[in-house]
Amino acid sequence: MSENSKRILAIFAHADDELGCVGTLANHADAGDEVTLLFLTRGENATTVMGNNDETMAKRQAHTDKISELLGVTIRFLDFPDSNIPYTVDGGYKIAEVIKEIRPHVIISWNQFTNMGAGHPDHRHTASLVFDAINYARYTRNDSPYEPFRDPISFYRYRNDQANARYSIQYVDISHQSDKIEKFIQIYSEAYGDWPVKKFKFTTARYYGYQLGVELAESFEIVNRVESIPKLLM
């Protein structure tokens, strides 16, 4: 990692949730930034992956091993229960420990969606937990091996057009990542099941690209942006 590189931390509930920022993560990894994908669960209750919990977790691990290689990112897991992520103070502190360890310049995560699918309780609880964890990471704890992390960060969440407009929007040009995005979708095809994910992803990316004046784009709400930290890479 060079002196000018940044540490990017993307936090989601399940492997494949990063569909909405895959191009952006690839942009940063290609530029030499240190990108970490943190999943709160191991996806043992994925309804589209056949097998018992252990078999499902093994398949999900195999998926993410390929994603790590494809995108050039580090992937980590926590041990929250799949389909039962609780919104608790302890959960926020658990995520805060990873933030204190990695000390990211940028965090990307879920938003508070209310529609079916994106509004899965795990997704909404993840959004709340990450918001809290950024604050908890500032605290000193006697049981933590890490120093408090109080540096300013840029914090982005998936764009939520259902909510009243509150945050500014950031568009990211991902036109040059189309091949990786297709490979990404293929790797996760077992997990996505019958959902027409390729059509969804590229239709959405073309719509956001139209707003930006490019072929394909991803879009995020800017919860906080530090001027000294470069914007999400185009």
Query: What are 177-198's pLDDT values in tens digits?
Result: 999 999 999 999 887 878 899 9
Q: Tell me which residue has tokens 């389909």.
A: 83
Four-CA torsion 170, 207, 109, 37, nearest 10 degrees: -110
Residue 36's closest CA among 120, 88, 95, 112? Answer: 95
**pLDDT computed for residue 193 by the predictor:** 79
Element counts in the chain: helices (H) and strands (E):
7, 7
Give the mean model confidence (pLDDT) for residues 121-145: 95
Model confidence at 212, pLDDT cuts 50, 70, 90, reads: very high
Residue 144 CB neighbour total at 10 angstroms: 15
Tokens of 78: 């926590």
Q: Is residue 37 classed exposed, middle or buried when 0-12, 13-18 and 19+ CB atoms within 10 A define those classes?
A: buried
> What is the full DSSP assignment across 100-112?
HHH--SEEEE---
Give the mean model confidence (pLDDT) for residues 208-227: 95
Yes or no: say if 126 and 174 are a contact pair by the CB < 8 Å rule.
no
Residue 174 CB neighbour total at 10 angstroms: 27
Q: What is the pTM (predicted TM-score) of this model?
A: 0.94
3-state secondary structure of 178: helix
pLDDT above 80: residue 231: no
pLDDT above 60: residue 234: no
**pLDDT computed for residue 50 by the predictor:** 60
Rg (CA), the chain: 17
Query: What are 55-99's pLDDT values in tens digits?
Result: 777 888 889 999 999 999 999 999 999 889 999 999 999 999 999
Say how many Å lie between the first and final Cα of the chain, rounded: 19
Give the mean model confidence (pLDDT) for residues 146-157: 96
CATH topology for 7-224 is: Rossmann fold (3.40.50)
* H, E, C per residue of 27-77: HHHHCCCEEEEEECCCCCCCCCCCCCHHHHHHHHHHHHHHHHHHHCCEEEE
3-state secondary structure of 167: coil
Please state the domain extents for the chain: 7-224
Model confidence at 211, pLDDT cuts 50, 70, 90, reads: very high
Give the mean model confidence (pLDDT) for residues 158-185: 92
pLDDT above 90: residue 120: no
**pLDDT computed for residue 101 by the predictor:** 98
**pLDDT computed for residue 79 by the predictor:** 95
Q: How far is CA 212 from the centre of its chain?
A: 22
Identify the residue with better confidence: 22 or 3: 22
Query: What are 2-12's pLDDT values in tens digits?
Result: 667 899 999 99
pLDDT above 90: residue 42: no
